[in-house]
Homo-oligomer: A and B are copies of this chain.
Amino acid sequence: MLKDIIDNNENYQPGLSIDCVIFGFHDNQLKVLLIKVERANKWSLPGGFIPVDQDIDTAAITVLNSRTGVDGVFLRQFATFGKVDRNKQHFDKKILEYLKIEEAKGKWLMRRFVTIGYYALVDFSKILPNPANRLEVVEWIDHKEVPELILDHREILDKALDTLRIELNLMPIGYNLLPEKFTIPELQKLYETILDKKLDRRNFLRKITNIGILTKLDEKKSNVAHKAPNLYSFDKGKYDEVLKNGLNQGW
């Protein structure tokens, strides 16, 4: 696949790529979707190149969709990375040899690549990690146990998480990581995990419901230890209304 792109590199934006930080939530852990290709020993963020006839946002959707199978989810550009030597060690001659790419064509890949970072929030339960081919491993990994990543992907991941934390404070985007029906305690765990901070149960309930974007369902979570918590769903209409006024304005 990479060989296809390089062989037809005139169809792709040169020196530009996209990397996606895909977040999911499971077992009270914030997970990140990572990829390992056979030839490399390190993990990396799912990424891709940008067809010359596609908006960069569209190309990002393609990357996300090809790995997770979902679309219509929360996807947001957060930063662009372009240090001079960011891909110096990686796109080297070994890969060209491995892929049997002639050196002339290979020059397209060898130059400095600037990468545009997107982060996505997806419903873990709906995702089936989808390897592009047999040589690829795709896996959800707890963000606290992310191993060494290629290039500057660690920096990209960290920046994505920083952005997520800030945006979670600005607007209630957390529901994107949960199924349609969820409980307040689940939502709280999510907040606590992302913000890496314990929150008071009672105060959390008050604050989150006061925003007015949650609908209390006439249904309780079943098959659960101890008292069954109530289920809630997210109200998109009210959410848009609230966003207009702006949450946590400050001034």
Residues of B within 8 A of A169 (CB): 248-251
A184 to chain B, nearest CB (A): 15
Q: Which of A155-191 contact B (CB under 8 A)?
A: 166, 168-170, 191
Tell me if A's interface is mostly helix, strand, loop or mixed.
mixed
Complex Cα–Cα for A84 and B12 (A): 12
A159 to chain B, nearest CB (A): 11
- By the criterion of a CB under 8 Å from any partner CB, how many residues of chain A are at the interface? 34
Q: Does A216 reach chain B (CB closer than 8 Å)?
A: no
> Is B251 within 8 A of A197, CB to CB?
yes
Complex Cα–Cα for A54 and B86 (A): 11
Residues of B within 8 A of A114 (CB): 13, 16, 50, 56, 116
> Per-position contact with B for A81-111: 1 when CB-CB < 8 Å, else 0?
1111000000000000000000000000001
Checking B80, B249, B250 against A56 with a beta-carbon cut-off of 8 angstroms, the contacting residue is B80
Q: List 22 A-B contacts (CB under 8 A).
A: A13-B15, A13-B82, A13-B112, A13-B114, A14-B15, A15-B15, A50-B114, A52-B84, A52-B112, A54-B84, A55-B82, A55-B83, A55-B84, A56-B114, A57-B82, A77-B79, A82-B116, A166-B170, A168-B250, A168-B251, A169-B251, A170-B250
